A and B are shown apart, each in its own frame.
Chain A
C-alpha cells in the first residue's frame, strides 16, 4: 500500500478484556515500531522490530503487552487484561532500514478501555 495501515482505527473495550491491534507497514520496510501516544503527550516508544525479531522491547510497560511480526511484514500488538490506563492512541511506524532517518507513521488505533 501507499502508507502504513493500522486497524482498527477505533477500539472500545471493557476493563479486563484482550485486544489486538494490527499494523501493515510500507512494503519493503524492514524496521517496524510501535509507539503509544496519550492525550497531550508525544509518542512513547514501546517496541521495535528488525525483520521478524523484536530487536528492542524495552518500552513495553509490563508483561500484559506483547507484539509479534511472524513474517517480517504485518505486526500485531496484543494487550491482555486491559486497564483504563491503557487508553491511548497506538501508533505504528516503519522505515526502510534501521537507524537511518525518517519514520513513516500510520494514523493510529485509538484504544478506549471503559
Chain B
C-alpha cells in the first residue's frame, strides 16, 4: 500500500514569514495529493490539492508543488498569520482508488 511521510512534525515561524511542509510518497501510481488543515478539536478541512498532471498550484497565500519523479510534494504558506496555526496533513491517493493515505501531520505555530 501507499506510505506517506511528512516533515517536520512541528514548525514555528514568526508572523509574516513563510512556512514549508514536505511529504514523500511511495506508490508511483498515486495521482492525487490534497492538503488538509485541522484546527484544535475541529474537523480536517481541505485547503488545496494537486493532481499529477500539474507541477504547481497556487491559491492566494498557499501553494503546492509536486515532483513526480522524486515522489514528493510540498505545501508553501507565505506571509503567515496567527490564524494559520493548526495541524496540516498531506495525503495521497492512487489512480482508481478511493482511499486517501495521510501523513502524520505538521503542527504549525505562527508567533505574533
Contact = CB atoms under 8 A, between A and B. Distances in A.
A109 B41 CA distance: 11
Contacts, number: 57
Given A45-B100, A91-B43, A101 B105 contact: no
Interface residues of B, number: 25
A92 B81 CA distance: 29
Interface of B: 4, 6, 32, 34, 36, 41-46, 49, 89, 91, 93, 96-105
Contacts of B99: 33, 45, 48, 56, 58-59
Main secondary structure of the interface of A (DSSP, over half): loop
Interface residues of A, number: 26
A1 interface: no
Interface of A: 3-4, 31, 33, 40-45, 48, 50, 55-56, 58-59, 91, 98-99, 101-103, 105-108
